[in-house]
Structure 1
Amino acid sequence: MVPVKNTKLYEVLGVSTDASRQEIKKAYRLQALKCHPDKNGHSEESKRKFQQVCEAYEILSDENKREMYDKFGTADESELQEQMSPQMYTTSGMSAGDLFAQFFGGGSTTSGFFERKRHTPEMARGPDIKHNLKCTLQELYYGKHAKLALNRTRLCRKCDGSGGKRSRTCTACGGRGMRTETTRRGPMVQTWSSTCQDCNGSGTYVRRKDLCAECAGQGCRTERKIFDVEVQPGMRPGQEIVLPSEADEVVNAEFGPERVIPGDVTIILQQLPHEKLRVLGDADLLLSNCSVDLRTSLCGGSVWIDSHPSGRVLKVDVAPGRVLAPGTVKCVENMGMPKPGGGFGNLYVRFNVEFPEKLDEATATAISAALDSDSNVQPTSSQALPEGVPIEDHVMSDLQPDLSQGGSPHKRRRGAADSSDDAFDGDDASDRAESCTVH
């Protein structure tokens, strides 16, 4: 076995110099997850390490590039040229690209996207692919697995991005990817450089008969990848699921397709609206309109809740003597959404008291007598009136709004029932609601 001149890339992945391709691939996945910027607060150190891991895998996973790195300590043609003596190719009449190809049996290994990298200081990171995943409240409660199909551009696996079996140095630009033109006008000489149109700046080309049949010489293919996305129980709307390095490997750049470090596929959870429930804070739920009859609101009893995301029907007991006023909010502990670390949030219930349209005279008399005998009830008619104030008697009638004139001329007064939602816009709902039991 040929001794390895530089072991830096092997140390980055944490493998030995005689590691197999499968061992290198496994080590890359572990290191990529460990150093990924999303898991390290997007610190500059994590970005630097993640790029080193990607570049190390790019070279060591390719047989030709790995052989070149083991022999010379680098897989970059420009660095290798700097290490060599100029006489090695200037006196032989060969171009730098021909001399470089000679080391690898007559075929340049730095073709296609890898050759284009010579003209950029370092490989850039490609853009992320973002996708919204819609979930019901019940799916967020229990979790789910979703199949997500996305289109992405990846390197051709058959030719590894080279575009063909054998690439040749572009004769128009001498393998530089740029052409220099000079114009003389009298005593003035003007020189400028432009991208070589023959090779589109790559410095190499592949003959038609040598083109890769899989990608037609493009070096990349658009593929449709199906991801299995796992939504954990209790995940929140807006939360992101990151699939690292699963985005495009090739993007359209100024001079054509360019190879990049793959970005991430980011799944953003979106909750479909629920008819009655909404999520508060991290794991609390608010049932915004729970109907209760007048008798239960005054005398106690049981209220049934059939809209819980667990699918269970909850029986909530209202203690006798604890009056439920319209808009009252009660707390049912540990009946909210699952928490990531275990346990559950709370369920807050806002009650809407349903009043009868009218009462029988006997019922009204009985209720009046019962309330008169209760020391907790203070009738407003017993309040003292100022002396000397004239009193007029009037009879109220039902309001009949003129709908053709835009509805009732009276503005609806905002009461406690309307403002209770505002009281639960924050995360301190538990400080403003009483508890009740559930069976």
Structure 2
Amino acid sequence: MKEDYYDILGISKGASAAEIKKAYRKMAIKYHPDKNPGDNEAENKFKKAAEAYEVLGNEEKRAKYDRFGHQAFEGGGFGGGGGMNMDDIFSQFGDIFGGGFGGGFSGFGGFGGGGQRRAKGSNLRIRVALTLEEIANGVEKKIKVKRKVQAPGTTYKTCSTCNGTGQVTRVTNTILGRMQTASPCTTCGGSGQMIDQKPADADAQGLKVQEEMVSIKIPAGVEDGMQLKVSGKGNEAPGNGIPGDLLVAIEEKAHESLQREGDNLHYDLYISISEAALGASKEIQTVNGKVRIKIEPGVQSGKILRLRGKGVNSLNGYGKGDLLVHVNVWTPKTLTKDQKEFFEKMANDENFQPNPEKSDKSFFEKVKDMFS
């Protein structure tokens, strides 16, 4: 089982944003690769801490994690840090380390000894519409994606401006003395490489658009608006760069007869006055086909029947929701002469007079039970 993000940073679930940042900085400095050269265990803890901070340090992601756990960021990588590498960590959280380590480090990820960074390709965004059945059970989708890839025949050479370091150093004379600053090379974008040769159908960066079939595993229980990240399936970067990611926004299609509320589903069942009085056997729709249920004689309009385990699979792996069947007794709007005479005879009949028992719950009690 994947380690809890709060445990990784050694904080409680009620920790403030400042406490989370402080805990991450402490761990990042302790296990920083510059302080632990060649130590794979320290590097692993360094990455774990960054992954935990990427989620807990973001208010929206933290709320999803608190509600769904790791499942909110799995099944393809929901916005979490599972696919983070050293380039990602230092580009996103480099400011947290302060000035103690400079802008890079030696021997890890995409940084060279001179602080060179590997360029990262841009992300792509698509939207995938899912049926309620697909959401309830999980699904694997194959999507055609047009992404930029390195064109065959493209070659690169060392950038003449930065000599392959990816950075340009400037020395400025100030009243406090000579100050040295380093910034990404604008000629090569910090990659340390420039185009040497490229085919005619490639763009200025040596890339060309290519259509590719991408398989996306979507776990059961996702919600409308959630975002799935497929690492490395965005646009490629020039030279020896890191591909961007494919971000997939989830869209939930409306179902013709079922309404979703979290992991539970709701179904409106309409029955006649005769069926309500005599009882009936009715067929209803679920996400996994139709089932038949028994309506007891004397059922009241507004009765809620709970079919356990007939809802949506929980995203956090805690079982399945229920299907709540709302019984509605349909009153005819027009009557024949015989029907009207029958109901007129029954109007004062004691058996037809409303006589709710103590066990019959009010509307507000039913609503309360439904949400609890």
TM-score by length of 1: 0.47
1:35-434 residue pairs with structure 2 within 5 A? 37=51, 41=55, 43=57, 50-52=84-86, 76=112, 78=114, 128-155=123-150, 163-164=155-156, 167=158, 169=160, 211-212=197-198, 218-250=205-237, 262-281=243-262, 283-288=263-268, 290-305=269-284, 307-312=285-290, 314-324=291-301, 329-340=304-315, 341-370=317-346, 372-374=348-350, 377=353, 429-431=370-372
Highest RCO, 1 vs 2 (Cα 8 Å, sep ≥ 6): 2
Structure 1: unaligned runs, 5 residues or longer? 1-5, 16-29, 57-68, 80-116, 181-194, 251-256, 380-419, 432-439
Q: In 1, are the aligned partners of 2:119 and 2:190 still within 8 Å (CA)?
A: no
Q: Per the alignment, in what secondary structure is the counterpart of residue 228 of structure 1?
A: strand
Deviation for aligned residue 1:241: 2.6
Closer, same or farther in 2 for the Cα pair 1:33/1:130, shift >3 Å?
A: farther
Deviation for aligned residue 1:218: 3.6
Q: In 1, are the aligned partners of 2:138 and 2:219 still within 8 Å (CA)?
A: yes
Q: How far apart in 1 are the matches of 2:321 and 2:281?
A: 22
Deviation for aligned residue 1:356: 3.3
Letter in 1 for 2:350: D
Paired residue total? 276
Q: In 1, are the aligned partners of 2:231 and 2:245 still within 8 Å (CA)?
A: yes
Deviation for aligned residue 1:147: 0.8
Letter in 2 for 1:277: L
Deviation for aligned residue 1:371: 5.4
Q: How far apart in 1 are the matches of 2:300 and 2:148?
A: 64
Q: Per the alignment, in what secondary structure is the counterpart of residue 254 of structure 2?
A: coil
Closer, same or farther in 2 for the Cα pair 1:202/1:124, shift >3 Å?
A: closer
Q: How far apart in 1 are the matches of 2:46 and 2:125?
A: 19
Structure 2 equivalent of residue 416 of structure 1: none
Q: How far apart in 2 are the matches of 1:198 and 1:321?
A: 81
TM-score by length of 2: 0.54
Closer, same or farther in 2 for the Cα pair 1:37/1:267, shift >3 Å?
A: farther
Letter in 2 for 1:299: L
Q: In 2, are the aligned partners of 1:12 and 1:53 still within 8 Å (CA)?
A: no
Give the aligned CA root-mean-square deviation in angstroms.
Answer: 5.1
**What's the % identity of the aligned pairs?**
18
Q: How far apart in 1 are the matches of 2:369 and 2:325?
A: 15
Closer, same or farther in 2 for the Cα pair 1:373/1:223, shift >3 Å?
A: same
Deviation for aligned residue 1:138: 1.9
Q: Per the alignment, in what secondary structure is the counterpart of residue 133 of structure 1?
A: strand
Q: In 1, are the aligned partners of 2:118 and 2:191 still within 8 Å (CA)?
A: no
1:177-218 per-position Cα deviation (integer Å, ceiling 9, x unaligned):
98x9xxxxxxxxxxxxxx9999899887666xxx25596884
Q: In 2, are the aligned partners of 1:299 and 1:323 still within 8 Å (CA)?
A: no
Q: Per the alignment, in what secondary structure is the counterpart of residue 135 of structure 2?
A: helix
Closer, same or farther in 2 for the Cα pair 1:202/1:141, shift >3 Å?
A: closer
Q: Per the alignment, in what secondary structure is the counterpart of residue 335 of structure 1?
A: coil
Closer, same or farther in 2 for the Cα pair 1:234/1:216, shift >3 Å?
A: closer
Q: Larger radius of gyration, structure 1 or 2?
A: 1
